[in-house]
Structure 1
Amino acid sequence: MTPDQADDPPQDPPARPPVQPADGSLSSTPPEPASGGHRPRSARTGVTGLVVLAVLVVAAGLLWDVVAVRTGHQARRWRAEAAHQVAVRELSDTWVLVGAGAAVVVGAGLVWLAFAAGLRRWLPLGVGDGTAAVDRAGVAAVIRGRAHELPEVTAATVKVRQARTTVTIRGTADPAAVQRELREELAQVPLARPHRLDVRTHRADR
């Protein structure tokens, strides 16, 4: 080691993307690797399960009654009464308006749940008790930064999904060499599940 090298200040390690512990707070400190981890579940998952269960119960009841009528049995009292009420009540009836309003409210709630932001942007980490997660945008920023550091890479586009990351580079760099470097960089993030990284070149550069 030369005197000049001894006087050089130590370089800081590259920053890692933030992780999300169970309490929802963010931390940029990389935890110790551990096994386990599962994809975070949004609160709307329970509501969706209840809606699906209710639809299945109602559909099964209707199907059972239709099959019973087709085989020569009498229709259930509740279905006969419902058909009678639908036939005799007018659109201006109070109960019809109340039912229509309730259906609109439930439908609007389901539409909101469908478009509300979920937790698919978080990738589970195999650290701690398995509840930590990392933002996909943070992983993409790390991969993109490493790609820009490589020689002969002029630009890079990174798309991070749940199980696969696709990197599109521009320049004269060897895609295989870039892929090896980026896979080593991705391996520094302790993801709980196997994650594939592929490197492609921009069509204009081929």
Structure 2
Amino acid sequence: MVSAAAAFVILVAAGAALVDVIAVRAGRPAATWRQELAHALATRPVDDVWMLAGAALAAAVGVWLLALALSPGLRRLLPMRSPAAMRAQLDRRSAALLLRDAALRVPGVRNARIRLRRQRILARADVHFRDPGQVKTDLADALDDARDRLALSRPPRIVVRVRRRSTK
């Protein structure tokens, strides 16, 4: 939504500038806003507050656009295996909740926290009454099965950490 609004604003500004440039090339005078802008930019010193503020704003917008261009899109969605004609994606929070439910079904797990990234699933569990080594093995197996049921196109690796919690 934001990118569509930004593209629309840029399209309108570029269209207005293009219409004015074509009019000047056709022998008409430049638009008033363009003449005033050119005069203001030509007469102001470089160290003027408004010139520095405009330059800082242009640099900030440039850095923001560069960061958007380099970051992967749809970060909240995980691509799923599907036929070639169809594209399916799964919400990251929903997948984490499904994995958390699978972790809580393991006997001995009192509490589980799941962080789901593109490359890794980090599962942290509090052990209540069983041996932590056995719980870790069972939890890894349960999460592996649950991850396979999610049918992700690039299944992330699973990292399991367990700790014994006191029963106070």
Give, in whole Å, the separation in 2 of the partners of 1:170 and 1:124.
Answer: 30
- CA separation of 1:106 and 1:202: change in aligned 2, threshold 3 A: farther
Q: Which amino acid aligns with 1:201?
A: V
Pairwise CA distance, 1:120? 2.0
**Contact map agreement 2:117 2:156 (CA 8 A) in 1:** no
2:111 is the counterpart of 1:155: yes
The match for 1:123 is: 78
Structure 2, unmatched stretches of 5+, are 8-42
**Contact map agreement 2:114 2:123 (CA 8 A) in 1:** yes
Pairwise CA distance, 1:94? 1.2
**Identical-pair percentage:** 28
Pairwise CA distance, 1:189? 0.8
The match for 1:102 is: 54
- CA separation of 1:99 and 1:123: change in aligned 2, threshold 3 A: same
- CA separation of 1:194 and 1:176: change in aligned 2, threshold 3 A: same
Written as runs of structure 1 = structure 2, the 5 A alignment for 1:42-53 is none
SS at match of 1:155: strand
SS at match of 1:202: strand
The match for 1:143 is: 99
Written as runs of structure 1 = structure 2, the 5 A alignment for 1:37-116 is 94=44, 96=46, 97=48, 99-110=51-62, 112=64, 114=67
Pairwise CA distance, 1:156? 0.5
**Contact map agreement 2:111 2:125 (CA 8 A) in 1:** yes
Q: Find the partner of 1:170 among 94, 103, 126.
A: 126
- CA separation of 1:188 and 1:133: change in aligned 2, threshold 3 A: same
Give, in whole Å, the separation in 1 of the partners of 2:164 and 2:62.
Answer: 41
SS at match of 2:158: strand
Pairwise CA distance, 1:175? 0.5
Give, in whole Å, the separation in 2 of the partners of 1:196 and 1:117.
Answer: 20
RMSD over aligned Cα atoms: 3.4
**Contact map agreement 1:170 1:201 (CA 8 A) in 2:** yes
Structure 1, unmatched stretches of 5+, are 1-42, 48-92
Paired residues, number: 117
Question: Alpha-carbon deviations, 1:140-176, whole Å to 9, x = none?
Answer: 1001011112211100011111111011111135201
Higher-helix-fraction structure = 2
Give, in whole Å, the separation in 2 of the partners of 1:163 and 1:117.
Answer: 14
**Contact map agreement 1:124 1:130 (CA 8 A) in 2:** no
**Contact map agreement 2:112 2:125 (CA 8 A) in 1:** yes
Give the TM-score, by structure 1 length. Answer: 0.47
The match for 2:140 is: 179
